[in-house]
């Protein structure tokens, strides 16, 4: 039987007080092994694509009064539909000028760093349209999403609000996509193949699944499964609950576990002086001897000090591949790291990638499934993230 070892905690000082850091759980109680590299500033960088935060993008403080701009949205919002969280989701909308004079767009301000808008023109002729493309980088997230892009037109204090809606989910949808440990420690998860391909549930949090129902009933593989979860068994304080399937496009599902204690820990953890732009990365299946590259946006208040990268999973190593300033938002940088496995075991993965800079540190969870090295040829399994 596979399981996770005990929770490892450590107190770190981040300059503003004591912070309790919680790292990933380890398989079968194996001790923590840390692979680290030291990075100094000056490496190559590449673009993540974003808009400056509100403090810089909106210098004025005028109240939002007066009529809205004469702009019609076609369609009324950007609907991403059911989007794969392994990729950046994109959508398109048109802004139509319903007035008899040209309109000039002064600035475009998303409410979230994860959203990247691009306009085909900053001027809308009378009766004409401009196209806005929006990319939403919520890789690693599951569930319903709702974002807003504020488009400010010169001469109007009220912005045009472009809503973005959708759902992030793998080829197998997991419902609920997140649940709270302080509300219900036991419950059911609904698993459904959105592409209609039957699949099997292999393990739930490292253990044989407790099947409640399936459709069709009695078959080896099914389109829909209902399985039980129990947060009191096999490490009750997991940040992610790992479900493994044999679906080729959804080998690992990772609904997030929330709770009062978790929220308090997370709230004390984050600091604007050193911060990752993502909470989690699902790498799918990673075999011994193979690697996966992961990109993540990050903020560093001081770029003159060296950083140390660590991965808190036994038999996994990490190295920095590249680091570049975001030309669209110089406050942000994009790091690409390579994670390599030497783990000759078949086990669920819940761990953490940690970057340190003196007394500061930022953390991003890493989830997936570890497997032994291949005995023959064959293509890599699905499920890993793609930019």
pLDDT at 243: 96
For the segment 3-20, the average pLDDT, to the nearest whole number, is 30
For the segment 293-310, the average pLDDT, to the nearest whole number, is 94
What pLDDT digit, counting tens, does each position of 313-335 carry?
999 999 999 999 988 788 899 99
Work out whether strand 347-357 and strand 307-312 pair parallel, antiparallel, or are unpaired. antiparallel
Distance CA 271, CA 300 (A): 10
What pLDDT digit, counting tens, does each position of 97-139 carry?
999 999 999 999 999 888 999 999 999 999 999 999 999 999 9
What pLDDT digit, counting tens, does each position of 135-154 carry?
999 998 999 999 999 999 99
Residue 8 reports pLDDT greater than 50: no
Residue 350 reports pLDDT greater than 70: yes
State the maximum Cα–Cα separation within the chain, in Å, rounded to a whole number: 71
pLDDT at 265: 55
Return the number of other C-beta atoms located less than 10 Å from residue 30's C-beta. 15
Q: What distances in angstroms separate CA 31 from CA 147, 234, 353, one per listed residue?
A: 41, 17, 16
Look up residue 272 and give its two tokens: 């604007």
Distance CA 292, CA 220 (A): 32
pTM for this one? 0.76
DSSP secondary structure, 28-63, as one string: TTPPP-EEEEEE-S------------HHHH------
Residue 196 reports pLDDT greater than 60: yes
Highest mean pLDDT among 24-33, 180-189, 267-276 belongs to 180-189
Look up residue 64 and give its two tokens: 């939002």
* Half-sphere exposure (Cβ direction) of 242: Cα atoms closer than 13 Å: 37
pLDDT at 29: 31
pLDDT at 58: 43
Q: What distances in angstroms separate CA 237 from CA 21, 226, 346, 351, one per listed residue?
A: 13, 22, 22, 13
| pLDDT band at 65; cut points 50, 70, 90 | low
The proportion of the chain whose per-residue pLDDT surpasses 70, expressed as a percent, equals: 76
Please report where in the chains the tokens 């340190």 appear, as a residue: 356
pLDDT at 44: 26
* Chain mean pLDDT for the chain: 81
Return the number of other C-beta atoms located less than 10 Å from residue 159's C-beta. 21
Return the number of other C-beta atoms located less than 10 Å from residue 359's C-beta. 13
The residue that leads in pLDDT, 140 or 210, is: 210
pLDDT at 19: 29
Residue 66 reports pLDDT greater than 60: yes
What pLDDT digit, counting tens, does each position of 351-371 carry?
899 999 998 989 899 999 999
Give the residue among 250, 251, 321 at the shortest CA–CA distance from 43.
321
Residue 64 reports pLDDT greater than 60: no
Domains of the chain: 9-49+270-371 (2.60.40), 63-168 (2.60.40.10), 172-258 (2.60.40)
pLDDT at 227: 98
Residue 37 reports pLDDT greater than 50: no
- CB–CB of 360/260 below 8 Å? no
């Amino acid at each position: 039987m596979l399981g996770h070892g005990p929770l490892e905690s450590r107190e770190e000082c981040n300059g503003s007080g004591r912070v309790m850091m919680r790292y990933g759980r380890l398989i079968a109680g194996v001790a923590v092994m840390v692979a680290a590299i030291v990075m100094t500033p000056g490496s190559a960088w590449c673009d993540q694509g974003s808009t400056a935060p509100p403090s810089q993008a909106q210098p004025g403080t005028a109240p939002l009064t007066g009529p809205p701009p004469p702009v019609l949205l076609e369609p009324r919002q950007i609907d991403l539909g059911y989007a794969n969280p392994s990729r950046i989701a994109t959508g398109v909308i048109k802004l139509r000028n319903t007035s008899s004079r040209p309109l000039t767009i002064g600035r475009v301000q998303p409410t979230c760093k994860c959203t990247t808008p691009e306009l085909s023109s900053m001027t809308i002729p009378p009766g004409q349209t401009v196209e806005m493309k929006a990319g939403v980088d919520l890789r690693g997230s599951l569930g319903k999403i709702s974002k807003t892009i504020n488009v400010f037109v010169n001469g109007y204090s009220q912005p045009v609000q472009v809503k973005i809606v959708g759902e992030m989910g793998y080829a197998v949808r997991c419902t609920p996509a997140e649940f709270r440990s302080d509300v219900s420690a036991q419950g059911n998860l609904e698993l459904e193949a959105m592409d209609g391909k039957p699949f099997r549930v292999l393990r739930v949090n490292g253990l044989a699944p407790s099947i409640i129902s399936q459709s069709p009933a009695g078959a080896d593989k099914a389109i829909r499964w209902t399985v039980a979860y129990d947060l009191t068994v096999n490490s009750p304080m997991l940040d992610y609950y790992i479900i493994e399937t044999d679906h080729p496009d959804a080998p690992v599902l990772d609904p997030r576990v929330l709770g009062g204690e978790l929220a308090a820990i997370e709230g004390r953890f984050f600091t604007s002086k050193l911060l990752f732009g993502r909470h989690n990365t699902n790498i799918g299946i990673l075999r011994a001897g193979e690697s996966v590259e992961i990109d993540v946006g990050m903020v560093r208040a001081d770029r003159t000090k060296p950083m140390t990268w660590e991965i808190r999973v036994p038999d996994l190593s990490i190295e920095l591949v590249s680091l570049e300033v975001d030309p669209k938002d110089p406050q942000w940088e994009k790091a690409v790291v390579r994670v390599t496995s030497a783990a000759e075991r078949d086990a669920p993965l819940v761990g953490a990638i940690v970057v340190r800079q003196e007394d500061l540190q930022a953390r991003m969870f890493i989830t997936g499934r570890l497997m032994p090295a291949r005995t023959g040829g064959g293509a890599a399994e699905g499920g890993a993230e793609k930019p």
